[in-house]
Amino acid sequence: MEVKTHIAIVSVPVYSHLRSILEFSKRLVHLHHDIHVTCINPTFGSPCNNTKALFDSLPLTLNQMFLPPVNLEDLPHDTHPAIQVQVTISRSLPLIYDALKALHATSSLVAIISDGLITQVLPFGKELNVLSYSYFPSTAMLLSLCLYSSMLDKAISCEYRDLVEPIEIPGCIPIHGTDLPDPLQNRSGAAYKQFLEGNERFYLADGILVNNFLEMEEGIIRALQEEQEKGRIPCVYAVGPFVQEEQCREGSSNDIKYLRWLDKQPCNSVLYVSFGSGGTLSHEQIKELAWGLELSGQKFLWVLRPPNKFGIIADIGARNEDPFEFLPDGFVKRTEGHGLVVPYWASQVEILGHGAIGGFLSHCGWNSTLEGVVHGIPLIAWPLFAEQKMNAVLLSDDLKVALRVRVSENGIVEREEISRIIRKLMVGEEGKEIIQRMKVLKDAAVDAIKNEGSSTVTLTQLALKWKSLSLECCC
């Protein structure tokens, strides 16, 4: 009789994180048909259409378990989306534990893999006597910071943003304090305390799975592996890149319009502009970006959302305003045929895979970054929040596959700077060098997930470990 190895995946209600961990789950069951996966999903409110599409795209071998929605009515109406997520995670923990306990009682559950934002799940593995892993949907560079953060906290007394010298993180390129993630920009804030507490829980993991491949962050991953060999940190496994391959869309007439428009453009001539699944700009910044695109003289495809006071939208399916109202007067008419603005959402996978795309102006979210790498598209780094500035440092200063925008003293990227950097990437000599480096990185990404690639071999070794535990349980 065939023994099914059962793995539980615990997600978080953040679209970008959910996408990443589901792609990992799909890859796992694709490579190992005898592994059974159940995805446990905390929720608040009704999922948007894009989230529904993610789950609709899952193979039948991936079971889904949606926990009862958490009631957030006691929170203020204008609560930041990040706080809503944290409260949802906290209030869902008893439900998650009960779900895991039930799975363990009825199947040969051998491992729990929880998203890196929900490290509170890691102790559950010890209580249920199963292995417990963290799925880290970002860079090894950020992971190194997380594992090193308590030491930094003790070694540095001032605010990180006030440091004159760059910070040394094991295995990483030196990084300025202002480029550290948002929670580290105010050490007296609650977010900073939560960041440190969450990082300490990583040490409870039997391993940490990173959504990247060895060849992209080899120095950092090797440094982490040296630390693990000394018994100082958990095992670190580079198992990516996991990117969305097939279409998961809401569906609209815009889909056909922008793809047909791209079909008419010369090869590598169009700059794709997008700030991810939820990133937004201020009204002033939208106008500056529009003027910069126009001044550059380069072709562009821009996915535009209206401004939001948080700089991020919680529901990527919400369409309450007309984003075209925030563009400069006459912009659409003046750039007609030369550029195209798509409201709210577009299929990034299809766009980046189109031969007309020659550059990608990105917020440096990790999903978007990996999609750019997998398709070999040179980048303009325009980070907005979270760990995106760290990603920009990795891409522009370390790997040198991106140009980073300069922000003025008033916090705005001005039109002249936007025009300059677009032309530099799309038609400048430095842009040509970036294209060559990105091609090498693309080839390495493709190789990493081949049958004998570094990431596939690493994931297979983990899977074999889990399967052997299932056999032991059945004996």
Residue 297: Cβ within 10 Å count: 12
Q: Is 115 a catalytic residue?
A: yes
Look-up of token digits 């279409």: 247
Strand ranges, E, within 249-327: 270-274, 299-304
Angle, nearest 10°, between helix axes 454-474 and 15-31?
A: 70
Give the pair of three-digit tokens for residue 209. Answer: 């799975």
With a CB cutoff of 8 Å and minimum separation 6, the contacts of 52 are none
Beta-bridge mates of residue 65: 40
Rg of the chain over all Cα atoms, to the nearest angstrom: 22
Give one DSSP letter per residue of 122-162, joined into a string.
HHHHHHHTSEEEEEE-S-HHHHHHHHHHHHHHHH--S-GGG
DSSP category for residue 72? -
Considering the candidates 6, 115, 354, 363, report the single residue annotated as catalytic: 115
Considering the candidates 6, 17, 104, 354, report the single residue annotated as catalytic: 17
DSSP category for residue 61? T
Query: Nearest Cα to 427, choosing from 291, 268, 274, 294?
Result: 268
Strand ranges, E, within 92-238: 109-115, 131-136, 207-210, 236-238
Q: Is 447 a catalytic residue?
A: no
CA angle 414, 400, 17 (to 5 degrees): 80
List residues with catalytic annotation. 17, 115
